[in-house]
């Protein structure tokens, strides 16, 4: 089959392209911005890329157009596809029908931790000899790639990051309803994606739809500390379920130690101790969920615990980008206030009383709308200095609110900038030996990490 992918340079659609090529399909694609690293990764796979959405691309005569959710009505190529009555489908539906069918699908869903938890789970299965396929919205360092069809053997297991974002302009269900998971992790659930969901109840409805797709022989791995997930399950559950976290006497729990190691407890019995380099309560919960999910697939808890000690994290998750003059610069994907708070808290526990300089770009659609702006000061309270980046404006890249005013409750320790060079200069001027500079954004942040390192070196 020849598929032509609209929006191929997104993380999900780029992963889809790799899987489709590996499965033997002819793959071409287009996007508004074709540039490294995704463009070079796809071209290395022999995938032809076209910049833009020119209607002439229908002359490629693919068997099927696969449409990413970046595409909306008015897109010239999409309009031509519709006018001519050509065959098209969404990325998640194509994955569900052509890659996941017949597989034991293990899906990691939740507002936070999807990428890290699915990466952990894929590694636990890999280290146990299962050689799973996977599609993850980041690059697990244990694998060095974000997607593959399977490992050394034709595995029946597939791990997927299960996003609640909408499927396509013509399918407003969440992506994860297309995956038909047998093992589903419900990691947490709070309000996000303000551009498509009016309130938390709307997202809970989508999670209820996910629960409806899990078979009776399947299993839900559920965060027992989340009232929102309790409400989801109260609407109906037809599968086995195990809880982690929370105050339940049964299920999975942990006992943390000062060095970020933790004992894993199942139904009151200790299963072993995880020793690793990761920090933060959120990562311990991610790890607990991954162990529980791997056990459903047949990996003994003791084996999973031992494997987790060799988990190398995900790129852009507290990734050290460099050290200059005893000043460490980190890159992290955190962009929701809860994720920001847990990331800063994890670093604080690691570095003790050393100064943390938080550098933040509120770039997600939810943040741009200002829905979470009141929560920002509290999420950054553990940082010693805060540098925010974002210009107020109604354009695609602009904020619809005043970042400086939002950070004002932090007083003199916070500054806001609308020019990246000015922000870099201010960070470099403020930094001193022993500091930890934590840059947080769900985008490229204009290459701020290297710019800060260069400025420190000078």
Tens digit of each residue's pLDDT (9 = 90 or more) over 80-122:
999 999 999 999 999 999 999 999 999 999 988 899 999 999 9
Q: Which residues contact 363 (CB under 8 A, 6 or more apart)?
A: 335, 390, 441, 442, 443, 445
pTM: 0.81
3-state secondary structure (DSSP) of residue 102? coil
Please state, rounded to an integer, the average pLDDT across all residues of the chain. 90
* Res 35: pLDDT: 66
Instruction: Say how far apart CA 222 and CA 267 lie, in whole Å.
Output: 15
Cα distance between residue 300 and residue 308, in whole Å: 12
Q: Please, what sign has the CA dihedral across residues 136, 137, 142, 147?
A: positive
Same fold, 2-91 and 100-308: no
CA distances (Å), origin 428, targets 115, 328, 354, 362, 420:
31, 12, 16, 21, 12
Which residue stretches of 48-140 are H helix?
76-84, 91-98, 114-127
CATH fold for the domain made of 319-457: 3.90.190
Can you give the pLDDT at residue 397? 60
* Structure-token match 């950070």, residue found: 407
Residue 367 has pLDDT above 80, yes or no: no
The band of 248, judged by pLDDT with boundaries at 50, 70 and 90, is confident
Quote the DSSP letter at residue 273. E
Highest mean pLDDT among 150-154, 204-208, 279-283: 204-208
**Burial tier of 403 (Cβ tally within 10 Å: 0-12, 13-18, 19+):** buried
Give the mean model confidence (pLDDT) for residues 125-139. 93
Please count the other Cβ atoms lying within 10 Å of the Cβ belonging to residue 224.
18
Q: Per-residue pLDDT for 306 more than 60?
A: yes
140 DSSP assignment: B
Q: What confidence tier does 392 reach under pLDDT thresholds 50, 70, 90?
A: low
CA–CA distance from 123 to each of 66, 243, 307, 310 (Å)? 29, 21, 8, 9
Where do the structural domains in the chain lie, given as residue ranges?
A: 2-91, 100-308, 319-457
Query: Bridge-partner residues for 157, per DSSP?
Result: 104
Q: Give the whole-angstrom CA distance, residue 351 versus residue 354.
A: 6
Helices (H) and strands (E) counted in the chain, each on its own, are 15, 23
For residue 274, the surrounding DSSP H or E stretch is: strand 269-274
Distance of alpha carbon 94 from alpha carbon 57, whole angstroms: 20
How far apart are the C-alpha atoms of 341 and 346, rounded to whole Å? Answer: 9
Rounded distance between C-alpha atoms, residue 149 and residue 155, angstroms: 9
* Least confident stretch, 35-39, 116-120, 181-185: 35-39
Of 10 and 271, which is predicted with more confidence? 271
Select from 3.40.1190.10, 3.40.50.10860, 3.90.1150.10, 2.60.120.10 the CATH code of 100-308: 3.40.1190.10
Q: By C-alpha distance, which of 238, 240, 236, 242 is closest to 223?
A: 242
The torsion region of residue 260 among left (phi > 0), alpha (psi -120 to 50) and beta comes to: left
In the prediction, which pLDDT does 439 show? Answer: 92
For 2-91, give the CATH class.
alpha beta
Is 423's pLDDT higher than 60?
yes
Answer for the pair 158, 23: CB distance below 8 angstroms, yes or no.
no
pLDDT band at residue 38, thresholds of 50, 70 and 90?
A: confident
Give the tokens for residue 270: 């200790």
- Residue 124, pLDDT score: 98
Provide the pLDDT for residue 174.
Answer: 93
Q: Is 13 helix (H, G, I), strand (E, B) or coil?
A: helix
Q: Is the confidence at residue 127, as pLDDT, over 60? A: yes
Average pLDDT over residues 330-344: 84
Banded model confidence at residue 368, pLDDT cuts 50, 70, 90: low
């Amino acid at each position: 089959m020849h598929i032509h992918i609209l929006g191929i340079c997104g993380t999900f659609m780029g992963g889809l392209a790799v899987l489709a090529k590996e499965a033997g399909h002819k793959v071409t694609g287009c996007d508004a911005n074709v540039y490294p690293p995704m463009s070079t990764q796809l071209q290395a796979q022999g995938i032809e890329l076209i910049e833009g959405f020119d209607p002439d691309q229908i002359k490629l005569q693919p068997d099927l157009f696969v449409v990413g959710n970046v595409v909306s009505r008015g897109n010239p190529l999409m309009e031509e596809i519709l006018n001519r009555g050509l065959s098209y489908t969404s990325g998640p539906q194509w994955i569900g029908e052509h890659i996941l069918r017949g597989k034991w699908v293990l899906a990691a869903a939740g507002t936070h931790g999807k990428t890290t938890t699915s990466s952990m789970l894929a590694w636990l299965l890999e280290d146990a000899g299962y050689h799973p396929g996977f599609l993850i919205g980041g690059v697990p360092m244990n694998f060095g790639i974000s997607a593959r069809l399977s490992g050394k053997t034709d595995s029946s297991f597939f791990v997927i990051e299960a996003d609640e974002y909408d499927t396509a302009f013509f399918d407003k269900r969440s992506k994860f309803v297309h995956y038909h998971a047998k093992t589903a992790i419900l990691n947490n659930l709070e309000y996000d994606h303000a551009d498509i969901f009016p309130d938390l109840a709307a997202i809970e409805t989508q999670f209820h739809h996910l629960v409806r797709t899990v078979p009776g022989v399947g299993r839900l791995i559920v965060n027992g500390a989340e009232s929102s997930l309790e409400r989801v399950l109260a609407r109906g559950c037809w599968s086995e379920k195990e809880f982690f976290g929370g105050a339940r006497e049964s299920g999975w729990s942990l006992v943390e130690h000062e060095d970020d190691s933790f004992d894993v407890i199942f139904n009151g019995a200790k299963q072993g101790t995880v020793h690793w380099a990761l920090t933060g309560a959120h990562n311990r919960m991610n790890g607990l969920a991954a162990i529980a999910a791997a056990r459903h697939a047949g990996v003994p808890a003791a084996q999973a615990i031992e494997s987790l000690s060799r988990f190398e994290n995900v790129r852009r998750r507290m990734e050290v980008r460099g050290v200059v003059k005893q000043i460490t610069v980190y890159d992290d994907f955190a962009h929701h206030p809860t994720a920001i708070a847990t990331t800063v808290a994890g670093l604080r526990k690691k570095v003790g009383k050393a100064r943390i300089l938080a550098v933040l770009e509120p770039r997600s659609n939810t943040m741009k709308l200002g829905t979470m702006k009141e929560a920002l000061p509290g999420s950054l309270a553990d940082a010693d200095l805060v540098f925010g980046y974002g210009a107020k404006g109604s354009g695609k890249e602009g904020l619809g609110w005043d970042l400086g005013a939002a950070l004002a409750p932090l007083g003199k320790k916070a500054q806001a900038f609308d020019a990246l060079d000015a922000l870099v200069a201010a960070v470099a001027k403020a930094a001193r030996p022993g500091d930890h500079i934590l840059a947080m954004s769900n985008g490229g942040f204009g290459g701020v990490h290297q710019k800060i390192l260069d400025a420190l070196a000078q």
